[in-house]
Structure 1
Amino acid sequence: MVRGKLTVIIGGVRSGKSAYAEKMLVDEASHVAGRLVYIASGTATDAEMQARIDRHKQDRAEIDCTTIEQPVELAGVVPSIQQGDLVLWDCLTTWLANELYSGWETATPCISEPGCMEQKEAQLYETINDILAKTSHLVIVSNEVLDELPSTYMETRTYSKWIGRIHQKLVAQADEAIEIDYGLATDWKNGQREVLA
C-alpha cells in the first residue's frame, strides 16, 4: 500500500499557517478525489480559546469538509478516516498541551507522571503512520514556540522540550516541511519559497 504524503506546516501564532494549510488541501481536492477531513484539537477552556475555535469554524464554513473533534488520543480518529482522504490536523501544539495535562482532574497530570509522555509520543507516531496508510495527504499544523527566550517555568520548559522533539521527528519523515514567517511560506525540504497573498 502506498503511504500518503505528509506535510508539516509550522509558524507563529496568527501567521496564516491554518489558512495556508486549508488552501493547500482545497486546491488539491479540486484535482483529485477524496474527502476533506479536518481534525480539530482545540477545546474551549476560556473565552479567548472559544473565539479562536469560532474563528476557525467561520473560516471553514464554505469548505465542504468533515470535522472530527479530537483534543486528546489522536488514535481515536483512525476509524473515521477513509481511503484517499485529504486530512488537515490543526493543531499539534494544542494537542500536546491537552495531553500534557490530561489527568489533571484526578491530580495525576501526564506532565508529572514518569514515562507518560514517552508513551503518548510513541502512540502519536504510530497513529500518524496509521493515518498515512489511508490518506492521500496529511497536513499537520503546529505553532513555533521555540523562538522565544527559555522560560523560567519548569512546565513551560517541559512543553518546549516535547514540541521541539516532536517537530524534529515529524519533519524528518515529512515530504514537505513548510515554515510560515513574515508573509513567506518556505519549504525547507524542497527549497521553495512563496509569498502569501
Structure 2
Amino acid sequence: MAETQLIFITGGVRSGKSAYAEQQLRQLADMNHAKRLVYVATGVGFDDEMKKRIARHQFDRQKQQLNWVTFEQPTNLRKLLPLIQPGDVMLWDCVTTWLTNEFYEGFETGICNWQRPEKLEQRIHDMKNTILQLHSLQIPIVIVSNEVLDEPISSNQEVQLYQRHLGNLHQWFIKQATQAIEIEYGHVHQWK
C-alpha cells in the first residue's frame, strides 16, 4: 500500500500557496476516491481585510462545485478528530495563523497563552498528535504555512518566541512530510 500523503507547503504571503494547496488536495481526492474535501480554516475575521480574504477563499471553493466541507478551527486542533471521516482528504490553512491564534488565546483575560508556556506547549503537542493520528488513519493531508522566518531574529521577547516556535514547527512538519514545497512569486520549488 502506498504511503499516505502529507504535503507541507510554505512560502511568502500571497504567493499562490492556497490555490496550489487546493489543487494538490483535489489531486489527492481523485487518487484516493475521497468522499469529502475537508478545509480546516484557522482564519478569524477580526478586520475587513481578513473578512474579505475568508470570503474570497470560500467563494473560490464554492465555484469548484466539489464536495468541500469547511471546519473553522482557529485553535485547539484536536477538536477536529471526531469530525474527520474515513475517505476524507484534508487541507489545513494555515499554520502561522493557527500559531498566532494559540499565542493570543486568553488575551481577553489579560494572560495570553504565550505568557503561559505550559499551555502553549500543550496545544502544540496536541496539534502534533492530531496530525499524526490523522496520518495513521490514512487521511491524506495538505498543510499550508507562511515563510516569515527570512527576517532577522527580533529583539522583542514575544516575537522571538513566535519565531522559535514557528521554526521548530516547520522543521517538524518537513520531517513528517512526504512532500515539502516552497512557493515564491508563484514559482513552486519541491524540497522533499
So what's the TM-score if we normalise by structure 2? 0.92
Task: Give 1:81-120 correspondences, 5 Å limit.
Answer: 81-120=84-123
Instruction: Tell which deviates more after alignment, 129-138 or 106-115.
Output: 129-138
2:30 is aligned with what amino acid? S
CA contact (8 A) 1:101 1:109 kept: yes
Q: What amino acid is the match of 1:143?
A: N
> Which stretches in structure 1 are left out of the alignment for 5+ residues?
190-197
Shift of 1:44: 0.7
Aligned residue number for residue 48 of structure 1? 49
Report how far residue 84 of structure 1 moved: 2.4
Q: Deviations over 1:84-103 (max 9, x none)?
A: 21100001110000001111
Residue of structure 1 in register with 2:70 after alignment: 67
- Checking the alignment, whether the CA contact within 8 Å between 2:40 and 2:90 is kept in structure 1 is yes
Does the CA contact (< 8 Å) of 2:16 and 2:185 recur in 1? no
- Determine the structure 2 residue equivalent to 1:28: 28
Identify the residue that residue 131 of structure 1 maps to in structure 2: 134
TM-score by length of 1: 0.90
RMSD: 1.7
Per-residue CA deviation, residues 26-79 of structure 1 (Å, 9 max, x unaligned), is 133234311111000000111111111112112211232011110111011111
Aligned residues: 189
**Structure-2 separation of matches of 1:78 and 1:85:** 12
Alpha-carbon distance in structure 1 between the residues aligned to 2:119 and 2:29: 38
CA 1:130–1:27: 2 relative to 1, 3 Å? same
Give yes or no for contact 1:6–1:175 (8 Å, CA) kept in 2. yes
Matches within 5 A, 1:149-188: 149-188=152-191
- Structure 1: 4+ residue segments shifted above 6 A: none
SS, match of residue 44 in structure 2 = coil
Aligned to 1:19: 19
1:193 counterpart residue number: none
Q: Is the 8 A contact 2:38 2:88 kept in 1?
A: yes
Alignment partners' CA distance in 1, 2:59 and 2:152:
34
Q: Distance in 1 between matches of 2:43 and 2:104?
A: 14
> Would the aligned equivalents of 1:33 and 1:84 in 2 still touch at CA under 8 Å?
yes
Contact between 1:29 and 1:36, CA under 8 Å: does it hold in 2? Answer: yes
1:97 is matched by which residue type in structure 2?
T
Tell me which amino acid in the other structure corresponds to 2:6: L
- Secondary structure in structure 2 of the residue aligned to 1:43: coil
Checking the alignment, whether the CA contact within 8 Å between 1:81 and 1:135 is kept in structure 2 is no
Gapped regions of structure 2 (runs ≥ 5): none
**Aligned twin of 2:58:** 57
